[in-house]
Amino acid sequence: MSFSANILVIDDEESMRAGCVQTLEQDGHRIQAVEDGRKGLEKTGKESFDVIILDLKMPGIPGMEVLKKLREDDPNSVVIVITGYATIDSAVEAMKRGAYDFLPKPFTPEELSSIVKRAVDCRLRALEDVCIAVALDEKMISKAIIGKSDEIAKLSLLIKKVAASSSTVLITGETGVGKELVAQTIHRLSKRREKPFVTVDCGSLVETLFESELFGHTKGSFTGALETTRGKFELANGGTIFIDEIANISINMQSRLLRVIEEQEISKVGSSEKIKLDIRVISATNKDLLMEIEKGRFREDLYYRLNVVPVNIPPLRERRQDIPILANYFLKEFIKQQKMTVKRISAEAMRSLEMYDWPGNVRELRNAIERGIVTCEGKVIELDDLSYNKSMPQNNINLSGKGSLAELEREKIIKVLNQFNGHKTKTAEYLGINRKTLRQKIRKHRIHIEP
């Protein structure tokens, strides 16, 4: 047979154990057998089994209790119960409690082989489903969280842990780091993935309509309320609500929001009827909320209610090794979307991307690559094709030496030229630029080359 299953037989009759072992070993499986429920649970506590054959009528721990414990310890376990005809009702009850199937005594070797084959197939399908789910989770994270830096590895691990819980999450980070993308990933990896993910952008909501937008309103509750509406919280019921830029909410609305989160219920504007919620709250901000609390602009109790699980996304300048990975990812994305002929980013342009501080973070980098593709006239994006503030001070770059970027560049070119005895082709290749660009830089920095 193609798959050798690991099988455990739990039965107090020695002849029954021996018969099962002989039949299933001939089928190519690996078999272990014990005489009571206690020993069976000891075995399953130390080792994983594909199929467990369990007798319901045994001395000591009743078979039904053993089944319950097996299902608690491993919900994916495949358990076949065996029982005499007189206890067929118990077998049906066992299936209701999670047993895969039952086999009435006495049974033939062929009947045992047949039911075990079906059980093994069931186990294999379950394992495949788990593998597919894990692969999809990994693919989802790899699409949302792009990079190979230690910071990104830690963030990916944290997202997996957070997604598995139902706790309230506060995502912090500068503008453009991808806070909403992280929130969406947490939702899609969670048990609520089949339910709605609803975004509230506090930076764009009008204060006077804020309460109506969040909680809905009844017809005629205010001028212009022509019909009863559902608010963002009601739309997200059962799923996740993402409250972006939460620091922009007024103190009065913060108080109402705190009450909703704590009580898990809302009332529409113009109604006293309570609507029960089952909702996960993920919020985000680019501000220092502790500083906002000190200035009296944010409620301390709301902060601690939101910040149950903090997730901080580091800015791009703190993980520069991810810049080439992101740049090439966006390049492929835009080439595919726009069917462009651009093939790559030049070494000089990429070096410039890595040196820039990216105050707009990933969003700014993405926009820069898109502009580079549009303005590029050849198949390679050069430095001149990229539009961003290249003269911006680079205060966080870990380079040896002192002075401005221009001085550092001049010193580097001189050092490499001296290394290759003034040979421009070798110098250009070493620096990752072409000879034309090297000549331009030599003129720009007024570098004199000895003949």
CA 434/CA 194 separation, integer angstroms: 52
| Domains of the chain, earliest start first | 6-130 (3.40.50.2300), 145-314 (3.40.50.300), 317-385 (1.10.8.60), 405-444 (1.10.10)
Q: Which two tokens stand for residue 145?
A: 């969280």
d(CA 83, CA 89): 10
Please say if the pLDDT value at position 206 is more than 80.
Answer: no
Highest mean pLDDT among 170-174, 274-278, 329-333, 345-349: 170-174
Residues 331 and 374: their CA atoms lie apart, in Å, by 11
Q: For the residues of 244-307, what is the DSSP string, one character each?
A: ETGGGS-HHHHHHHHHHHHHTEE--BT----EE---EEEEEESS-HHHHHHTTSS-HHHHHHHT
Interval 63-107: pLDDT, tens: 888 998 888 877 777 899 988 754 667 777 788 888 888 888 888
Dump pLDDT digits (tens) for 146-172: 788 888 888 888 988 898 888 999 999
Q: Measured between alpha carbons, how far is 184 from 141 in angstroms, rounded to an integer? A: 10
Residue 197: which pLDDT band, with cuts at 50, 70 and 90?
very high
- How many whole angstroms separate alpha carbon 176 and alpha carbon 404? 27
Which of 2-6, 260-264, 311-315 has the lowest average pLDDT? 2-6
Contact 43, 7 (CB under 8 A): no
**pLDDT of amino acid 400:** 35
Helix, strand, coil % in the chain, rounded to nearest 5: 50, 15, 35
Q: Is 347 helix (H, G, I), strand (E, B) or coil?
A: helix
| Of 7 and 85, more confident | 7
Strands 275-276 and 265-266: antiparallel
Strands 309-312 and 344-345: unpaired
CB atoms < 10 A from the CB of 369, how many?
A: 26
Pick the more confident residue, 175 or 207: 175
Q: Residue 419: its pLDDT value, please? A: 78
pLDDT grade, residue 208 (50/70/90)? low
In this predicted structure, what is the pLDDT of residue 2?
A: 56
Label residue 131 by pLDDT band (50, 70, 90): very low
Handedness of CA 326, 330, 333, 336 (dihedral sign): negative
3-state secondary structure of 198: strand
Q: Which contacts of 85-92 are long-range, i.e. CB under 8 A and separated by 24 or more positions?
A: 87/56, 87/57, 90/56, 90/64, 91/56
On the question of pLDDT at 126 being above 70, the answer is: no
Query: In the structure, what pLDDT confidence band is assigned to residue 279 with cuts at 50, 70 and 90?
Result: very high
Handedness of CA 419, 423, 428, 430 (dihedral sign): negative
pLDDT at residue 132 is higher than 50: no
> Which one-letter amino acid corresponds to residue 62?
P
Q: What pLDDT, on the 0 to 100 scale, is given for residue 395?
A: 39
Residue bearing the bigger pLDDT, 226 or 151: 151
Q: Please return the burial class of 207, using the count of CB atoms within 10 Å of its CB with bins 0-12, 13-18 and 19+.
A: exposed
Lowest mean pLDDT among 97-106, 122-131, 191-200, 327-336: 122-131
% of the chain beyond a pLDDT of 70 = 87
**Can you tell me the distance from the alpha carbon of 54 to that of 64, in angstroms, rounded to the nearest whole number?**
9
- The one-letter amino acid at 399: L
More confident residue, 196 or 89: 196
